Every structure is written in C-alpha cells, then in structure tokens.
Amino acid sequence: MCSSWIVVAFCCLGQLCADQSLKPQIAAPQLATNNPTLTTVALEKPFCVFDSSLLPNKSYTIYLYAMKESASAMSSLVADGSSKPLDSTFQQTNGGQLGPYKVAAFHVPSCASPPRLVDAGDVSKVSDVLKQYLFRVGDDGNCLYDPNFLDVCNPPLAPDTTYRFKYVLIDSTEGIVKDQTLWSDPIKTRRVKLPLQIDTWPGRRSGAMIVVTSILSVLLFLLLAGILAAVSSAVMRPEGPSSETRCTPQTTQPNDPRPQLGSE
C-alpha cells in the first residue's frame, strides 16, 4: 500500500507515469529548481518506461543521447543498420550540432522500488533521492580536458541553445538497441544576462543604476572621511595661551630716592 502511494505521489508530479514518459521529461520544479541553467538540464530518469521490454536472464543498460535541435533530422538515429548503439561523443558531433552524442549510461531504474518521495524531506537523504530519480545533463566540467578520463563524457551544454534528448534501452548481453523513447520536446538552456538586464531584487534596478549608485556611495564615503579628518585635526591641534592669561609684564620702576633733610 505504501509503495502504491509513493508511485501515485510521483505520478501527481508528472513522474513515473508511463503515458507521460514516452519521451524524456524535464524535472519537475518541486525537485529541481533553477532548471534549466546556463549549461545544464535536469531530466527525470525513465522509471517504468521500458518494463515491457525487459526479459529475465538478460542484462540491460540505459543510454541517454543529446543533440541540438538545429541538427538534421536525418542524423537523429541512435543505432546503425545492425541495431548497434552509436558511441558518438561530444567532440565528434561538435556538441550535438552534427547529430546525437552519448551523454550517459546507467542501470535501468527500478519501477518496483522507486526512490521514496518522503525521504526528500530529510536533509541527509535528499541528495541521494535526487541522484536516483534525476539525471543532470552537462554536469561534468572536466571530462573534456582530462586525458585519463575513460567514462562517458557529459560536458556543459551551450547557453541559450535548444536541445532534445532520448533514452535508449540497450541489451547489454547482445550489445544491441532493444527499445527507445521518442526525442524529448525542445528544451532551451538559459541565456547569459547582460549588465543592463540584471535583476537586482528587491529594487529591480538596471546595471547602469548599480554603477551610478556605487560611484555615489564612494564619493559620499570620501566626503565623510574628509570631514572626519578635518574635525580630528582641529581637536588634536595644541592650544596657545589664552587671552585671559596673556598680559604684558609691567616694569617696576625703582623708587626715586629722595634725600632726607637732616635737622639743622
């Protein structure tokens, strides 16, 4: 009963529902804020999407492909004539401009035991829940420049660019494509904001206003500093003798000796 409630809860968020998962879905805002970013897109993993294609005693892997929307429709195939999956890389496809490139490879998510939604409220578990449920495209900024990197490279996406994504079920035993979703709806990364477009909450001032405000603040600071310096100088200046204590020393005139007349 509990697991059924969890599936229903995810379904209410547009998740884990097969009829809504025929193509990759952008992550619900409740689980991934600020999505897409300039260089990343968070997608829901394909829970319960390929269950009807899974056979016992077989090993399966999910491949995620990405390509720019401007790529030719003829180049959107992810398998060759013998159903072998493409191993095209970010570099080989010019970042998805020439066709799909492989972004990731991971285990098939378990539809029977999906991540527990209630655990997302636990700070210590929320990161693990999100990693189980979501995949962030463009999350590796080092793989292109690391000569020792051997895994599937997932480099940052281009800002202000529209992409499409596709999940593919790979039969690892035979190394062939077993099933796949449709390409996702177009998903566009965010654009870089110019200084004049910067949102400076709460005042929502423009970039030019920020510069003017900064200059005025500096000038005000210098003015106050000058006033304080002048006041301090006046206070610390040594005082001269006051007018009350200044007096001209008087010269004492000697008494005029008068001869004393003796008695005659």
Q: Examine residue 264 and state whether it is found in any structural domain, yes or no.
A: no
- Per-residue model confidence (pLDDT) at position 231: 77
Our CA dihedral for 192, 149, 137, 196, rounded to 10 degrees, sits at -10
The dihedral sign for the CA sequence 199, 204, 209, 215 = negative
11 lies in some domain: no
Quote the tokens at residue 127: 């990161």
Q: For residue 210, what pLDDT band results from cuts at 50, 70 and 90?
A: low
Tokens 């495209």 sit at which residue?
137
Question: 35 vs 117, which has greater pLDDT?
Answer: 35
Quote the number of domains for the chain. 1
Angle at 151 between CA 148 and CA 156, to 5 degrees: 95
DSSP code for 43: E
- Tens of pLDDT, residue by residue over 64-98, are 999 999 887 667 899 998 999 999 999 999 999 99
Which whole number is the average pLDDT over 45-64?
A: 93
Residue 69 lies in a domain: yes
**Would 103 be classed as within a structural domain?**
yes
Note the pLDDT tens digit of each residue in 90-144: 999 999 999 999 999 999 998 887 776 666 566 666 777 788 889 999 999 999 9
* Residue 148 pLDDT: 87
Whether 67 is in a domain gets the answer: yes
Residue scoring higher pLDDT (178 or 118): 178
The answer to whether position 260 is within a domain reads no
In a domain, 198, yes or no: no
- Identify the CA nearest to 133 among candidates 31, 6, 52: 31
Closest CA to 181 of 59, 48, 56, 55: 48
* Nearest of 64, 43, 69, 41 to residue 138 by alpha carbon: 41
- Any bridge partners for residue 171, and if so which? 60, 176
**What does the pLDDT read at residue 162?**
97
Domain membership of residue 45 as a residue range: 25-191
Distance between CA atoms of 41 and 157, rounded to whole angstroms?
A: 8
Confidence band of 172 (pLDDT split at 50, 70, 90): very high
Establish if 216 belongs to a structural domain.
no
Interatomic CA distance for residues 135 and 75, integer angstroms:
24
Report cis status (omega within 30 of 0) of the bond before 46.
no
